[in-house]
Amino acid sequence: MPEPSSSTSTTYQDTEKPPPYTQSNGINLNRPVPPLPPRLLPPETHLRPSVSTSELKAGSASFPDPPATVNQVHLFSKKEDIIGTFFVDPRTPSLSPMPKRKKHGKRGGDQPHASFQTRCANISLVLAATGSIKEAAKATINVASRSGCIEIRLMPTPSTRPRIGVDARSRSGDIIVWFPETFSGVIQLNTVKGELHLLPNLAKAVRTLKDTDKEAMLIMGNQAEGGLTDLCQLTSRTGKIIIGLSGQDKHPQKEGFWAKFSRMLRGAVSE
């Protein structure tokens, strides 16, 4: 649910071609990350002040839930950026289930608790789950774009909150995700002709279960046996997938839209 703020801004027409495919052996930690294309600077957003990991471990009193909401958020845009901070409450019922496919293929599953989709525009989100894990186990969020870039920053949350499940997909756009130290679960990366990049500080915080040039599966945090865990699935066709540790890893690009936006987010939600 959009609590602190959400806004949109007009994007430019992307005329750049996807980067050529280069063969690699799994996630490359030594090769420099290629710079991302420059983007437009988004409008200023008012974000929730940050809290430290120690405050989260002390309890949720220092990080109170936003006010209760009465509806879900599902945003679609063709050519305008989607930018904002959203606290997703899985206790909020959906208006209707995901429609069934008429021909081949299985049903896509239940509707996510929040979704953000564009055709050629960028998506920049700060996300967190809200509510009680005793009332709802997990908040599911879908993010997708055909050719736009996607950047997601997951906010640190206490263990009393529902777990978060993020599914982000892009055909030719790049995907960047920043993980907090409180993330506890599985990170899955898949690309057809793109590149996978794991930034150094996050690499120290995860365990690798699978690592090829097109697919990787990582585990972060400590999962209790049979316990509910976080999940992040990132998929691209030709775009790069870059993941890092929030507040510690540096953005791979020094100038442009994504770098400026990341610096703004780090000032608001980093530890």
pLDDT digits (tens, 9 = 90+) for 58-96: 444 455 666 655 578 899 999 999 999 999 999 887 665
The whole-number average pLDDT for the span 201-219 is: 93
The predicted pLDDT at position 107 comes to: 46
Domain around 159 = 2-9+41-59+69-92+109-269
**Two structure tokens written together for 204:** 């120290």
Identify whether 47 is part of a domain. yes
Closest CA to 27 of 205, 247, 189, 230: 189
Going 128 to 130 to 132 to 136, the CA torsion angle's sign is negative
By CB atoms closer than 10 A (0-12, 13-18, 19+), residue 225 is exposed
Most confident of 24-38, 47-61, 88-102: 88-102
The domain total for the chain is: 1
Contacts of 193 (CB under 8 A, 6+ apart): 18, 21, 237, 238
- The answer on pLDDT for 226 being more than 70 is no
Identify whether 257 is part of a domain. yes
Name the least confident of 15-19, 39-43, 93-97, 172-176. Answer: 39-43
Identify whether 190 is part of a domain. yes
As a whole number of angstroms, the distance between CA 171 and CA 244 comes to: 21
- The answer on pLDDT for 202 being more than 80 is yes
**Residue 218 CA to its chain's centroid (Å):** 15
> What is this structure's pTM?
0.69
At residue 268 the predicted structure's pLDDT band, cuts being 50, 70 and 90, is very low
Identify whether 14 is part of a domain. no
Identify whether 214 is part of a domain. yes
C-beta neighbour count of 67 within 10 angstroms: 9
SS3 168: strand
- For residue 163, list its beta bridge partners: 138
Closest CA to 9 of 81, 78, 77, 74: 81
Mean pLDDT of the chain: 75
The predicted pLDDT at position 222 comes to: 75
Identify whether 157 is part of a domain. yes
- The answer on pLDDT for 251 being more than 70 is yes
Identify whether 36 is part of a domain. no
**Residue 235 CA to its chain's centroid (Å):** 11
